[in-house]
Structures are given as structure tokens and as C-alpha cells.
């Protein structure tokens, strides 16, 4: 097992005597929180198509995912932090994929591996294929290629680690799950004669009515991003807390959390 290298954690701004470099770490809470998350990210164990073979090769001894703390692929979404969408996403499979994503605890990340998962790949516009998993789930990293090599997947995983390294507990846009409670689940698509996104239900209904009346009904569009919602109860709390500075600070924190959560929902809905 590799030894913990404290230089990874030490803040470079604070001088530590040379003789103590290997024994003392001075760091920030964000840094140690990010370091522990990104060094123990467990991927969900599933594969969809040819890209999955490359993912399996990445986990094998030659490339060795355990160097990144990612070798523990979990067969349960409850124990997974990372969803590697490795392969062609068919309309039939996107339903369980979104359901599995909803079952993963926060914080959770999605990596789209290969041309198919990123945008449909060679099967784009095929009758049974989804043109990219990002139409349903928020993707953190895209890995191009058909298929991407294990090195490319590792590069994508390192990019994800760098993204996590850049997050801060002080910025609720980075960590909206922290202290705000569970977020809304992503609507699970419905597979009928074609795939239906529940977020488009009103639009589909309106278009069906126009079509039945023999009027032009346009093309199906992704609904506009959810607008930032006002939080009247939180504002009321802010007013009520004006007498004590502690209550004020608490109300301000609550308001920022609500806003960060609303922005996250808007991003997921777009």
C-alpha cells in the first residue's frame, strides 16, 4: 500500500520546516474534504457496449485504477460516487440508467465515455439510440473516442479529480449537496413507442392537441431551464432574524443554500 504523501495536503503558503515536512500537514477543510473524496471515488459497475471493454481493461493490472482509489467498482448504486457511461445508450437502457443515477447518494459524478455516450456516436439519430446521456443526466467529464483508449479514460478520470480539487466548501455552487439535504431526483424517461422525457410532457400534450386540430405544431424542444425560484419563506426568516446577528447569519446561509440548490436544479433541467 502506498504511503500518504503529506505534500499533497500541505498548504504551500504556510512555511513548514524541512525536517517536519513528512510529519506535519497544514491544510484547509476544503482541501482535505476534496482530497478524500477524489481519492476514493467508487465507480458504479456496469457497461453498455464496446467502450465497456476498454473500461474493463483500464481496471485491469496493466493500467491499474487502484492508483486513483477507484478500483472498488460497486454493483450497488447506493455505494457508488461515479457513473461511467461506457457505451451506446439505447432508449431502452436510458430508463434504468437514470433510475440508477437517482439511487446514487450525493455527491455523485457522471463521466460520458466515448462518442456514443457523449453524443450518439456512429448511431446518432438511430431509431433506438439516445443522442448523448447529457440529455438526461448532468455530465461532468466527456471522454472522446470510439472507443477511447484506457489512457484516455484515465485522463478523463484525472480531469474529474482536478475538477473536485477546485471545489470549495465556501462556495455552495460547488457543493450544493452539502447541508441542503437531498436534491430532486432526475425525472425518469418513459419508454413507449418512443422515449418520452417527463419534462416535455406539457409540450408534447400541447403539440398533440395542435396536431389533432390540423394545425402546425412545430418541433419538440427541450424545455427552458428552470428559472431561479424565489424563496419567500427564507426571506421572511431573514426579516425575522434581523434582531440577532447570529440568526441573521444563519438565515443568510439558508438563503445561499436555497439559491445554490435552485441553480443546480436549473443546470440539470437545461
Contact residues for ligand SF4 (CB under 6 A)?
49-51, 87-88, 114-116, 121-122, 146-147
Closest CB 225 distance from ligand SF4, rounded Å? 28
Distance CA 50, CA 12 (A): 43
Closest CB 131 distance from ligand SF4, rounded Å? 12
Is 86 or 207 the residue whose CB approaches ligand SF4 more closely?
86
Is 50 or 226 the residue whose CB approaches ligand SF4 more closely?
50
Closest CB 145 distance from ligand SF4, rounded Å? 7
Distance CA 24, CA 17 (A): 9
For 270, counting Cβ atoms within 10 Å of its Cβ (0-12 exposed, 13-18 middle, 19+ buried), the class is: exposed
Is 25 or 59 the residue whose CB approaches ligand SF4 more closely?
59
Closest CB 251 distance from ligand SF4, rounded Å? 49
Is 114 or 156 the residue whose CB approaches ligand SF4 more closely?
114
Is 148 or 176 the residue whose CB approaches ligand SF4 more closely?
148
Closest CB 146 distance from ligand SF4, rounded Å? 3
Distance CA 265, CA 263 (A): 5
Amino acid at each position: 500500500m502506498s504511503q500518504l504523501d503529506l505534500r499533497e495536503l500541505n498548504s504551500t503558503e504556510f512555511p513548514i520546516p524541512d525536517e517536519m515536512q513528512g510529519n506535519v500537514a497544514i491544510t484547509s477543510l476544503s482541501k482535505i474534504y476534496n482530497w478524500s473524496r477524489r481519492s476514493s471515488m467508487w465507480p458504479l459497475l456496469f457497461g453498455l457496449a464496446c467502450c465497456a471493454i476498454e473500461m474493463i481493461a483500464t481496471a485491469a493490472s496493466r493500467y491499474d485504477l487502484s492508483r486513483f482509489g477507484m478500483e472498488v467498482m460497486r454493483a450497488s448504486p447506493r455505494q457508488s460516487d461515479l457513473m461511467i457511461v461506457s457505451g451506446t445508450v439505447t432508449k431502452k437502457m436510458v430508463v434504468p440508467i437514470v433510475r440508477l443515477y437517482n439511487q446514487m447518494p450525493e455527491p455523485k459524478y457522471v463521466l460520458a465515455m466515448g462518442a456514443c455516450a457523449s453524443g450518439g456516436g456512429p448511431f446518432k439519430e438511430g431509431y433506438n439510440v439516445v443522442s448523448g446521456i447529457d440529455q438526461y443526466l448532468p455530465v461532468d467529464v466527456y471522454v472522446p473516442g470510439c472507443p477511447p483508449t484506457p489512457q484516455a479514460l484515465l485522463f478523463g478520470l484525472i480531469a474529474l479529480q482536478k475538477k473536485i480539487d477546485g471545489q470549495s466548501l465556501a462556495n455552495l455552487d460547488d457543493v450544493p449537496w452539502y447541508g441542503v439535504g437531498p436534491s430532486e431526483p432526475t425525472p425518469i424517461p418513459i419508454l413507449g413507442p418512443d422515449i418520452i422525457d417527463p419534462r416535455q410532457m406539457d409540450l408534447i400534450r400541447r403539440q398533440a392537441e395542435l396536431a389533432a386540430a390540423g394545425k402546425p405544431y412545430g418541433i419538440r424542444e427541450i424545455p427552458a431551464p428552470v428559472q431561479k425560484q424565489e424563496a419567500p419563506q427564507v426571506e421572511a426568516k431573514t426579516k425575522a432574524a434581523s434582531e440577532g446577528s447570529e440568526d441573521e447569519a444563519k438565515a443568510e446561509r439558508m438563503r445561499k443554500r436555497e439559491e445554490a440548490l435552485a441553480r443546480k436544479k436549473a443546470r440539470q433541467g437545461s
